[in-house]
Structure 1
Amino acid sequence: MPDQIYCSSFELICASMDVWTSAASWVQAIGSIAAIGFSYAAGSRSERARVKKDQQRAMSYGYMVVPQLELLWNNIHNAKTEFDRRPMDEEKITDWLVLSPQLSALLPEMHHLGDASVAIHQALSAIDSFREDILSNHEYDRNGGDSYDNQSNFLESLPLPPDIQKSYVAAATAMRNAIRQINRILRSH
C-alpha cells in the first residue's frame, strides 16, 4: 500500500507521514537551539546591565570619597609640619589625623571601589601607624627616654621611638596611592 500523502493548510506542502514526523523533530530541535540562544542573550544583557550599574555606583562613590581622602592627605602633611614645629603638642598634632565624619560615613560602602578599597585600607592603616608613632615620640620626649612608676621611681629606659619621617612618608604615599587608584577608576568609565 502506497504511503498516504498529507498536506499542510492551503496544500502548500504535501508529504508522507514519515517526512512530517521527521520535520516535526527538526522544528523542535531548531526551536530548542533558538530558546537556548535567546536565554544566553538575555543573560548577557542582564549581566552587562549589572556591570554597568556597578561601574556607575563605583563612580558615584569615587566622586564622593576622593575629596575626603585629599583632605586627609593634606592633614597628614599638616600633622608632620606641626610635629616639626612643636613636637610636644601631641593633641594638636594627632587632631590632624582624625577621620572626618563624612569619610567615616563612606567607609562601609568602600567595597564599591574594588581593588582601590584595599589601597584605602592600607592608607588608613598607615595613618594610624603615623599617629601611634607620634604618640610614642611624645611619650619618649616627655619622660626624657625613661619610664617611671607612680612614685617617680625609675623603671627602665624606653626604647628609641619610631622614625616619624618614615611613618609620615608611608602614610602620605599610601594615601596618594589610594587617591590615584580611585582616579583611575573615574577616568576609565
Structure 2
Amino acid sequence: MTTLSKDTRTSRQIVLDAIAELAGLGHAITRENLQATTGLTQHIVDDNVSRMVDEEGTLRRVRPGVYELVRGIGKMPNVYFTDIGEDSSLIIEVDDCGKLVINDPRVARKIAERLSGNYAQNLMLEMKYQFGMVSQDLMLELKQAKRELSQRIAELEAEKSNLARKLAERPTQSSLGLGFDEPATSQH
C-alpha cells in the first residue's frame, strides 16, 4: 500500500516552480496557465504573482494577465566593497564568486565607467519598457472609453427615436388642449 505524501512547498515555491517549468517549455506565463499548472486558486496565484512583479522583480507584466520571467531569478549573492587605506585600493567580494583586489585607481575608474554604462543602458531599456507599458495601458483605457461612449450614444439615439415616435403618434392640437379638435355646433 502506498501513501500519498503531502506537498510541503509554500504556495510561492509552487508558483515559482510552475513559472520555471512554463518558461523552460517555452509556454506563456499567464494567470490561467499558472492556475492550471499549480492547481492553486486564482486568488493565491494572483497574490504570489503580484508580489513577484511589484516587490521582488522576479516577473515583469507584459500586459494584463501575461508575464515574462526576468533574468537572474533566484537569490542575489551578497556583494561587499571595501576601501583600503590611503593608496585607494579596493576589494570587491561576491559570495560564491570570489574576491577582486584592485590596487590601481585607474583600474577602479575603468571598471566604474564600464559598469555605469551597463547601468545606463539597463535604465534606458527599463524606461522604454515602462513607457511602452504606460502607453499600452492608456491605449486600452482609451479603447474601453470609446466602446462605452459608443454604447451610450447608441442607447441615447434609441431613446431619442422612441421619444420621437411617441411624439409623432400624438395628435398635436388635442395634446395642447385648445379644443380645436371638435367642430363647434350651434344651438338654435
TM-score range, shorter chain: 0.3 to 0.5
Query: Which structure carries more relative contact order (alpha carbon 8 Å, separation 6+)?
Result: 1
- Looking at secondary structure, tell me which structure has more strand per residue: 2
- Looking at secondary structure, tell me which structure has more helix per residue: 1
